[in-house]
């Protein structure tokens, strides 16, 4: 019996943990007003790349994204317009490790939860 239901609990628990991470990441994203320049999809006219585009470049490479947010890695999407993004990094330069994980997860989450 336990053998049968245990995987179900593990699956639910895992899904819940991921949801939590996305939610936390979204909170940080909104708190720092990142949404002013970053829209969810490419349809909207926005100053910065959409979360869709960010996901295309960083999905599976969240470690690199965290390095970028820490100011330790160069931009890879639109280096010519980095001067607009650069001043924003002061907001993300000194966060808790867990918050980097959440923000990076959210930034690449467009297709993760569908
Ligand atoms: C004033 C507008 C603006 C705000 C606010 C802003 N960004 Fe950006 N962002 C940009 C622009 C423009 C680019 C494109 C330049 C680049 O690729 O670095 C960019 C690029 C990025 C990239 C891609 C970096 C790469 O590899 O090229 C990430 C990730 C990102 N922003 C995250 C964030 C986060 C997180 C916040 C909130 C703390 C934020 N941005 C706030 C304008 C903004």
pLDDT 10s digits, 1-28: 778 888 888 888 777 777 788 999 999 9
Separation between Cα atoms, residue 5 and residue 41, nearest integer Å: 38
Q: Which of 25, 29, 88 to mutate to test the pocket of ligand 1 (most atoms within 8 A of CB)?
A: 88
Atom of ligand 1 nearest to the CA of 103: 35
Yes or no: say if 89 and 7 are a contact pair by the CB < 8 Å rule.
no
Predicted local distance difference test score (pLDDT) of residue 49: 96
Q: Who's near 10: CB < 8 A, 6+ residues apart?
A: none
Is any ligand 1 atom within 6 A of the Cβ of residue 109? Answer: no
Provide CB contacts within 8 A for 64, sequence distance 6+: 58, 73, 76
Give me the half-sphere count of Cα atoms (radius 13 Å) on the Cβ side of residue 69.
Answer: 28
Rounded mean pLDDT of 64-77? Answer: 97
Q: What is the tens place of the pLDDT at every residue in 84-105?
A: 999 999 999 999 999 999 999 9
């Amino acid at each position: 019996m336990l053998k049968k239901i245990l995987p179900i609990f593990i699956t639910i628990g895992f899904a819940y943990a991921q949801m939590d991470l996305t939610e936390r990441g979204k909170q940080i994203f909104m708190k720092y007003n990142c949404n002013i320049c970053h829209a969810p999809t490419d349809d909207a006219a926005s100053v910065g790349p959409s979360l869709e585009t960010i996901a295309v470049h960083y999905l599976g490479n969240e470690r690199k994204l965290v390095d970028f947010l820490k100011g330790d890695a160069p931009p890879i999407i639109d280096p010519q317009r980095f001067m607009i993004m650069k001043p924003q990094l002061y907001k993300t330069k000194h966060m808790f490790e867990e918050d980097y994980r959440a923000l990076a997860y959210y930034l690449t989450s467009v297709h993760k939860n569908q």
